Amino acid sequence: MDLTMSHEEHNAIIRDPVNRDDVRAAFGEQPPEGVVMTTLDKAVNWVRKSSLWPMTFGLACCAIEMMSMGASRFDIARFGAEAPRFSPRQADMLWVVGTISQRQAPALRRIYAQMMEPQ
């Protein structure tokens, strides 16, 4: 699987459907706005190229499972998310792992509000 992608290939994932006949069969002449059809291979490569910078918010035993994602057995680096950010201003995604109680909700809302756009 080729992990490098040119700017044109990157944009082709968003613009070009997989097969125009499949689109017509599924949606008629044009797909609804916001529907993107592509191959899994192209989508995975796009995700790897646009690697995530997650901020982790782990609670209780679920946080241990989240931490194991960075270990060699599960290796989240394959998806470009191996560098967690611990500041909401540097992160582009918030991972909330565990059950949020009423007492923790205001803190989580404050953290989410501090994240950069788009959230």
Question: What is the tens place of the pLDDT at every residue in 25-40?
Answer: 666 666 667 767 777 8
pLDDT at 15 over 50: yes
- The pTM score is 0.52
Of 8-22, 57-71, 80-94, which range is least confident?
8-22
Instruction: Provide the 3-class DSSP secondary structure of residue 25.
Output: helix
Closest CA to 96 of 72, 71, 119: 119
Q: Tokens at residue 86, please?
A: 């611990």
Domain boundaries, the chain: 7-48, 51-114
Q: How confident is the model at residue 1 (pLDDT cuts 50, 70, 90)?
A: very low
Long-range CB contacts for residues 45-51, cutoff 8 Å, separation at least 24: 45/1, 45/2, 45/3, 45/5, 46/5, 46/10, 46/13, 47/79, 47/80, 48/3, 48/78, 48/79, 48/80, 49/3, 49/4, 49/5, 49/10, 49/80, 50/80, 51/79, 51/80, 51/81
- Tell me the pLDDT of the chain averaged across its residues: 75
Q: How confident is the model at residue 113 (pLDDT cuts 50, 70, 90)?
A: very high
